[in-house]
Chain A
Amino acid sequence: MSETVRLYFDVDGEDFTSAGQASVQVKKSLRQLGIPPEIIRKVSIAMYEGEINMVIHAGGGKAEVLICEDCIEIRLRDQGPGIANIEQAMQEGFSTAPDAIRSLGFGAGMGLPNMKRYTDEMKIESEPGKGTDITMRVYL
């Protein structure tokens, strides 16, 4: 996995309306690099879901995208409340999002399942009270 391009983003936890800016920027960068459209779609959807999760649950965080010869790796780090039961959180429909978020069309319990669906590898490390680290890979 020889690294060619690395992108960093701070995900603002305060502003829900601008959530997704990092994902949109990644989409643009991947397009400029000539990455195939279906790969771009997978990466940007997985990253957007992660970004939204960080805004809803963790007050923001940091995102890093590594574009390598054979894959694209997305690393998401936050210092939020963590995930108490990862297996439960991975089930479609399970959500702890507040009602205000649901009324905007989020919080359907599809975020983590979509991240898994659209990536080839996904690893979640989380400790309640400390935060969550997620690493996802999409192979080219």
Chain B
Amino acid sequence: MTINQMAEALGLRVLTAPEGERECTGVYIGDLLSWVMGRAQCGDVWITIMSNINVAAVASLADVACVLLAEGVVPEEDVIRTAEQKGINLLCAQQPAYELAVRLHELGL
């Protein structure tokens, strides 16, 4: 499943999707950035409520498929711009992380 397909299936708001055709291969949920860098896998959908600028750097370095902000969190405009420049797919949803994870599991992740 690609990022674009996931966004459509879950009705997610796409903030920026410079790599929208990238495949998602797993899911990781976490807000502690170093923890995420230590545990998330390349290609994961990273679900978090952390929306500061460092999230873009962590997503880029950990090479996750996208950042999915849960619980209605919307980042500042400069975070969206930075994500776009770094080629990071950034999406947001109203649902909590658990609900998103359940839906992603139903979709095969």
The distance from the CB of A27 to the nearest CB of chain B, in whole angstroms, is 7
Say whether B100 faces chain A, with CB atoms less than 8 Å apart.
no
B32 engages A108 (CB within 8 Å)? yes
Name the prevailing secondary structure of the B interface residues: helix
For chain A, the count of residues having a C-beta within 8 Å of the partner chain is 25
The distance from the CB of A45 to the nearest CB of chain B, in whole angstroms, is 5
Q: Give the nearest-CB partner of B53 in chain A.
A: A17
Q: Which of B11-19, B58-66, B90-98, B101-109 faces chain A?
A: B58-66
CA distance A29 to B39 in the complex (A): 24
In the complex, chain B residues 14-71 whose Cβ is within 8 Å of any chain A Cβ: 31-35, 37-38, 42, 50, 52-55, 57-58, 60-63
CA distance A52 to B42 in the complex (A): 21
Given A19-B57, A20-B57, A105-B31, does the pair A114, B37 have CB atoms closer than 8 Å? yes
The distance from the CB of A73 to the nearest CB of chain B, in whole angstroms, is 18
Q: Find A44's partner among B34, B35, B38, B61 (CB 8 Å cutoff).
A: B61
For chain B, the count of residues having a C-beta within 8 Å of the partner chain is 20
Chain A 93-137: CB-based contact to B (< 8 A → 1; otherwise 0): 000000000001110111101100100000000000000000000
Q: Find B61's partner among A16, A24, A117 (CB 8 Å cutoff).
A: A24
Q: Give the nearest-CB partner of B57 in chain A.
A: A20
Q: Find A108's partner among B34, B42, B54, B86 (CB 8 Å cutoff).
A: B34
In the complex, chain A residues 1-44 whose Cβ is within 8 Å of any chain B Cβ: 16-17, 19-20, 23-24, 27, 37-38, 41, 44
What 3 A-B pairs have minimum CB-CB distances, sorted nearest first? A110-B34, A20-B57, A105-B33
Known: A41-B63, A105-B54. 18 other contacts (CB 8 A): A16-B54, A17-B53, A19-B57, A23-B61, A24-B60, A45-B38, A45-B61, A48-B37, A48-B61, A104-B54, A105-B31, A105-B33, A108-B35, A110-B32, A110-B37, A111-B34, A113-B38, A114-B37
Query: Can you list 10 residue pairs at the A/B interface with Cβ under 8 Å?
Result: A17-B54, A19-B57, A24-B60, A27-B61, A37-B63, A41-B63, A48-B61, A104-B54, A106-B34, A114-B34
